[in-house]
Structure 1
Amino acid sequence: MLTITRALYDQIVAHARADHPDEACGVVAGPAGTGRPERFIPMLNAARSPTFYEFDSGDLLKLYREMDDRDEEPVVVYHSHTATEAYPSRTDVTYANEPGAHYVLVSTADTDGAGPFQFRSYRIVDGEITEEEVEVVETY
């Protein structure tokens, strides 16, 4: 199960809505070994595409160095789907290289980025997708 604060949940949704119609992407880092998402890090979708996201390799390298310096790890890797449901695509599964992370998808399909949305979380390990419950809390 993913337990996430309302503030982080709202930031992820706001990023997805702001970048619509392009896919948004980012990371929520947390203290290494805790599994607790704490630091919201919106990233630029280098592909600038409504159907595909790609982290800029330089930005990603900088992020991993920064997390290492802060003794953090990626707890949540998120992105949005603007035309389909919040379920990992084959490309998403290929990109899922953090077996300990929660992969969050926000769908803004058919909403123009402003209406109802789906917020779902998955574990993706060795190509296997497992949906998990999301618990939104006010604080940890």
Structure 2
Amino acid sequence: MLILGPMLTLSQALYDQIVAHARADHPDEACGVVAGPAGSGRPERFIPMLNAARSPTFYEFDSSDLLKLYREMDDRDEEPVIIYHSHTATEAYPSRTDISYANEPGAHYVLVSTADTDDAGPFQFRSFRIVDGVITEEEVKVEA
């Protein structure tokens, strides 16, 4: 069930970094986090991660990298505002696996599809909230 809901606002620079990471890791899925001050909801710090699965159909954060990231965010009083990954052969919509791994109810889950595009082609860039298995698509606002 898809429900249209709130909005994700991010800078053009962060948008460009997420798309560039998805493009660079293609044909494998790219993944990462954009952290922001705890409680602010503001995405500020781009943190590309390694897809430990190195797969075109699946992404997985390396557990030690993820632990290090959460400790670092805790030390900086940050939280994950955006958790992103790419889909290389399908549309930018959460898969069953994506839904099962969505364990940050306050985060925006951004998906970028690199399917059917060339290096300069348009990328699908969509944002969702995923809470208790319910997917809510959000409008994405990119600011200069």
User: TM-score range, shorter-chain basis?
Assistant: over 0.9
TM-score normalised by length of structure 1? 0.96
Cα deviation, residue 111, structure 1: 1.4
Q: Is the 8 A contact 1:21 1:113 kept in 2?
A: no
Cα deviation, residue 117, structure 1: 1.0
Cα deviation, residue 126, structure 1: 0.2
Cα deviation, residue 113, structure 1: 5.1
Q: Is the 8 A contact 1:121 1:133 kept in 2?
A: yes
Q: Is the 8 A contact 1:16 1:113 kept in 2?
A: no
In 2, distance between residues paired with 1:113 and 1:21?
12
Give unpaired runs (5+ residues) of structure 2: 1-6
Q: Is the 8 A contact 1:37 1:75 kept in 2?
A: yes
Equivalent residue, structure 2, for 1:77: 83
Equivalent residue, structure 2, for 1:120: 126
Tell me the SS of whatever aligns to 1:92: helix
Q: Is the 8 A contact 1:21 1:112 kept in 2?
A: no
Q: Is the 8 A contact 1:17 1:108 kept in 2?
A: yes
Task: Within 5 Å, give how 1:1-140 maps onto structure 2.
Answer: 1-112=7-118, 114-135=120-141, 137-138=142-143
After the TM superposition, list the runs of 4 or more consecutive aligned residues in structure 1 that deviate by more than 2 angstroms.
Answer: none
Equivalent residue, structure 1, for 2:4: none
Tell me the SS of whatever aligns to 1:7: helix
TM-score normalised by length of structure 2? 0.93
Deviations 1:77-124 (A, max 9, x none): 000000000000000000100000000000000114542210000000
**Identical pairs, percent:** 91
In 1, distance between residues paired with 2:91 and 2:51?
19
> 1:32/1:101 Cα in 2 relative to 1: closer, same or farther (>3 Å)?
same
